Structure 1
Amino acid sequence: MKILLAPSERKTLGGDNPPISKKSFIFPEIYEKRIEAVRKYDEFLKTTNDIKNFGDDKTSVFTRPTKKAVLRYSGVAFDHLKYNVLDEDSQKWIDENVYIFSNLFGVISAGDLIPHYTLKQGAKPGFDIYSYHHNVFAPILEKINETEPFIDLRAKFYEKIYKPKNAITFKFIKNGKVVSHFAKAYRGKLTAIIAKHKPSTLEEVLKIPFEDIKVLEIQEKKGVKEIICEVY
């Protein structure tokens, strides 16, 4: 079972690992295709003054130090995941089984090593990078999804890259209303709890004692099971 997460725009700086290489990422068989998109972004940085979408760091992405993706991203979901306080087994499970949909690098694992970068959601560095990522990563993920269900905790935007057919999603309800922005926090909490229990089926997911979350019902449509929860 894999968890799909969106990235965060907020990221930590620095890193204690060397710049990206083939060893930095999962799916080494498509490394050159992954890096082709990164090279285009790298060249685009030299020509743009759009600091809002691409930042003000003009150094090459290929020269920047790296750290684990799960530690690089520091938005709401990752704050509530609290990776650093999890036990070693849970951290290892997250490193290997959480896929993050990076705007720049495509589909990476939480344990992949990436540099700091700026690429706002939806921005295009001279080409449609989301269409590019879809063509590269969707076939790989579809193959995995044939035998493994995905727990999809991403924002809908990232379905541009890939939309699973065999998946579990969550909808959070509070005081009768769908939780929107703070849903990111529950996604982070869910990821941490799931990592501790390491389920492999929907039945095992439903047996997990989620803190402050009560399952109300499960709806299914086209292979996607949506777990509707009351949160407190």
Structure 2
Amino acid sequence: MLKILFSPSEGKNNGGDKEKSKLLGATDARDEILKTYNNIVNSKKEDDIKKLFGFKKFSDCKPYIVDIFNSPFMDAIERYQGVAYDYLEYQNLNEDAKNYIKQNTIIFSNLYGPIYAGDKIPNYKVKQGNNIGDIVPDKFYKDRFSYQLDLLLANDDILDLRAGYYDKFYKPNKSYTTLKFLKGGKVVSHWAKAYRGLVLKAIANANTQNIEDFKKLEIEGLSIHEIKTIKNKTEIVYNITD
């Protein structure tokens, strides 16, 4: 089966319900970082909270000052909002495509680490690159989840659609595929998020089963420029045609 690695987003949607779900991986693997986060958020120490969230004004922090263990929960794929998620247009997909994404996409959260897109999480705020107390999230999750992910993905094809920062959380030890987007011969950086969202949408709509099927997939606005492999990493370079 094809498994897709995906980035989170700084933006979140509010709401949800009280229904929880088991998260990817060992049950207690996140306990330390989640408790540390919750303690800071509910400590009433304004400077510590602003630093964690990446805000200058404490008033901006208030929507996120909640007990994450007793907050409304929502599927991760619906919780996040941002450029990639806007172009994915998850809410407009049919139920088969939605289920495909929930079961086959792994999102790398700055607080929760690797989670399935269908795992339920509360609203939270961690600025990318920030520590949580003394805990460095990328190192924390790389140490605790790399082996678990290697086992989980051992028999799957891997398409890595994450931003480069999330390589710090996990780097596959087997063959995997990444994408690059060119516009007028130049590498697209910020707007690569949009095309990652479009690619995930196309994959889900086509019920893509493996990397060979993915290479044959026609994606609106994109054409394959070249494919190159170095060691265990294959990079598909697309020209943006629209």
Interval containing the TM-score (normalised by the shorter chain): over 0.9
Counterpart CA distance in 2 for 1:226 and 1:87 is 30
Counterpart CA distance in 1 for 2:72 and 2:22 is 11
Counterpart CA distance in 2 for 1:110 and 1:201 is 18
Instruction: Give the alignment's Cα RMSD to 1 decimal.
Output: 1.5
In the alignment, which residue of structure 2 is the partner of 1:152?
160
What does residue range 26-105 of structure 1 map to in structure 2 within 5 Å?
26-27=24-25, 30-45=26-41, 46=43, 47=45, 49=47, 50-51=49-50, 53-54=52-53, 55-56=61-62, 57-105=64-112
Equivalent position SS for 1:173:
strand
Counterpart CA distance in 1 for 2:18 and 2:13 is 16
Cα deviation 1:193-220 (Å, max 9, x = unaligned) = 0012222332211111111100011000
In the alignment, which residue of structure 2 is the partner of 1:121?
128
In 2, are the aligned partners of 1:66 and 1:116 still within 8 Å (CA)?
yes
Instruction: Using the TM superposition, give the Cα deviation of residue 19 of structure 1 relative to its aligned residue in structure 2, in angstroms.
Output: 6.2
In 2, are the aligned partners of 1:19 and 1:115 still within 8 Å (CA)?
no
Equivalent position SS for 1:33:
coil
Counterpart CA distance in 2 for 1:112 and 1:14 is 15
In the alignment, which residue of structure 2 is the partner of 1:137?
145
Q: TM-score, normalised by structure 1?
A: 0.93
Equivalent position SS for 2:224:
strand
What does residue range 161-172 of structure 1 map to in structure 2 within 5 Å?
161-164=169-172, 165-172=174-181
In 2, are the aligned partners of 1:12 and 1:73 still within 8 Å (CA)?
yes
Segments of 5+ residues of structure 1 without an aligned counterpart are: none
Instruction: Using the TM superposition, give the Cα deviation of residue 89 of structure 1 relative to its aligned residue in structure 2, in angstroms.
Output: 0.6
Counterpart CA distance in 2 for 1:150 and 1:193 is 16
Aligned residues: 227
What does residue range 152-231 of structure 1 map to in structure 2 within 5 Å?
152-164=160-172, 165-231=174-240
Counterpart CA distance in 1 for 2:231 and 2:209 is 20
Counterpart CA distance in 2 for 1:48 and 1:95 is 36
In 2, are the aligned partners of 1:146 and 1:166 still within 8 Å (CA)?
no
In 1, are the aligned partners of 2:158 and 2:211 still within 8 Å (CA)?
no
Instruction: Using the TM superposition, give the Cα deviation of residue 52 of structure 1 relative to its aligned residue in structure 2, in angstroms.
Output: 5.6
Counterpart CA distance in 2 for 1:224 and 1:144 is 19
In 1, are the aligned partners of 2:52 and 2:132 still within 8 Å (CA)?
no
Instruction: Using the TM superposition, give the Cα deviation of residue 33 of structure 1 relative to its aligned residue in structure 2, in angstroms.
Output: 1.4
- Look up the equivalent residue of 1:212 and give its one-letter code: G
Segments of 5+ residues of structure 2 without an aligned counterpart are: 54-60
Counterpart CA distance in 1 for 2:203 and 2:185 is 25
Of residues 165-174 and 54-63 in structure 1, the stretch that sits farther from structure 2 once superposed is: 54-63
What percent of counterpart residues are identical? 37
